[in-house]
Amino acid sequence: MRLARPIVFGNWKMNGLRADGLALAGALAQRAVRLSGTLGIFPPFTILHAVAQRVCETGILVGGQDCHEKSFGAYTGSISAPMLVDAGAKAVILGHSERRHGLGETDALVRAKLLAARAAGLLVVLCVGETEEERLAGVHEERLWAQLDGSLPEGIGPEGLVVAYEPVWAIGTGRTPTSADIVATHAAVRRMLARRVVGGDAIPILYGGSVKPDNAAEIMACAGVDGVLVGGASLDAAAFWSIYQAGGGA
Ligand code: 13P
């Protein structure tokens, strides 16, 4: 199934107690009666089910921010892909830099999680991105290739897969690459996906990192950008909705 453009996903990260999260979901649900694009929200696990119920009469997609690579078992504190589905999730973010860099997740682990998520029928938002040092050293494309090559299982198809390019140095910093750099990097990721995945041309590529209402139109107008993955600004319904509108969504 082709996801309608723009694709605008909100990663709430570790934010959202029940009352706030449900108020935010409710405010979005009021706006999102009939969607021309694809709008998704990724609340914390604790309120995922309640949020999914709150938006179930809309087209808003709800997802988890991570999943374990095994389905069930003695893995204290972990949440599996079938559990996400059971809670109402249709998607999952994998390989976010806050897990790769903050928690030491390797490409091999992300690949195992990706297989588990696809087996459970979840849409996977696979995140990749270079650090500032890698960008300054001009090795960002090598880094992105290594992450994609290492995180994508052999023989995977394009179905149920979205890639989010999130430069680590742009996340939560208020800094973004220039439009020219976004176009060039998305073109590079596009070539990598075509090389690595049969039918990889069909995989949407999102940009993530300090997307705000005032830069969203310029970012989403960049060639090769199918949408955005929003962190901080997705915690405000009006800001998140205006980002979606800036990408042409109604
Ligand atoms: P910010 O939009 O807060 O920079 O976060 C981006 C991000 O990490 C989305 O996954």
For helices 18-31 and 237-246, give the axis angle rounded to 10 degrees.
40
Beta-strand pair 7-11/38-42: parallel
Determine the distance separating the centroid of ligand 1 and the alpha carbon of 73, expressed in angstroms: 32
| Alpha-carbon distances of 218 from 29, 130, 211, 214, 215, rounded to whole Å | 26, 21, 10, 8, 6
Residue range 50-69: mean pLDDT, rounded: 97
| Alpha-carbon distances of 16 from 25, 33, 149, rounded to whole Å | 10, 23, 34
Percent with pLDDT over 70 in the chain: 100
pLDDT of residue 60: 98
Residue of 86, 79, 78, 80 lying closest to 62 (CA atoms): 86
User: Per-residue pLDDT tens for 218-237?
Assistant: 999 999 999 999 999 999 99
Please confirm, yes or no, whether 101 is among the known catalytic residues: no
Which residue's C-alpha comes closest to atom 9 of ligand 1? 231
CB-count exposure of residue 187 (10 Å: 0-12, 13-18, 19+): middle
Facing residues of 62 across strands? 41
How many angstroms separate the CA atoms of 68 and 83, rounded?
10
Which residues touch 48 (CB under 8 Å, ≥6 apart)?
Answer: 62, 64, 84, 87, 88, 89
Which of 230, 234, 236 has the most ligand 1 atoms within 8 A of CB, as the residue to mutate? 230
pLDDT of residue 161: 98
CB-count exposure of residue 188 (10 Å: 0-12, 13-18, 19+): middle
Determine the distance separating the centroid of ligand 1 and the alpha carbon of 98, expressed in angstroms: 10
Residue range 154-161: mean pLDDT, rounded: 96
User: Per-residue pLDDT tens for 138-148?
Assistant: 999 999 999 99
Ligand 1: nearest atom to the Cα of 172: 4
How many angstroms separate the CA atoms of 81 and 89, rounded?
9
Architecture field, domain 7-246:
Alpha-Beta Barrel (3.20)
Structure tokens at 118: 């696809």
Which residue's C-alpha comes closest to atom 7 of ligand 1? 231
How many angstroms separate the CA atoms of 183 and 201, rounded?
16
pTM of the model: 0.98
Q: Which residues of 118-148 are buried (b: 16+ CB within 10 A; e: fewer)?
A: bebebbbbbbbbbbeebbeeeebbebbbebb
Catalytic site residue from 98, 130, 166, 186: 166
Please confirm, yes or no, whether 166 is among the known catalytic residues: yes
**Is the predicted pLDDT of residue 1 greater than 80, yes or no?**
no
Residue range 21-30: mean pLDDT, rounded: 98
| Residues near ligand 1 (Cβ within 6 A) | 11, 96, 166, 171-172, 208-211, 229-233
pLDDT of residue 33: 84
Cα distance between the two ends of the chain: 20
- Mean of per-residue pLDDT scores for the chain: 97
How many angstroms separate the CA atoms of 143 and 148, rounded?
9
DSSP 168: G
The 10 Å Cβ neighbour count of residue 231 is 21
User: Per-residue pLDDT tens for 165-219?
Assistant: 999 999 999 999 999 999 999 999 999 999 999 999 999 999 999 999 999 999 9
In the chain, what are the domain boundaries?
Answer: 7-246
* Predicted confidence band of residue 26 (pLDDT cuts 50, 70, 90): very high
CB 115 within 8 A of CB 153: yes
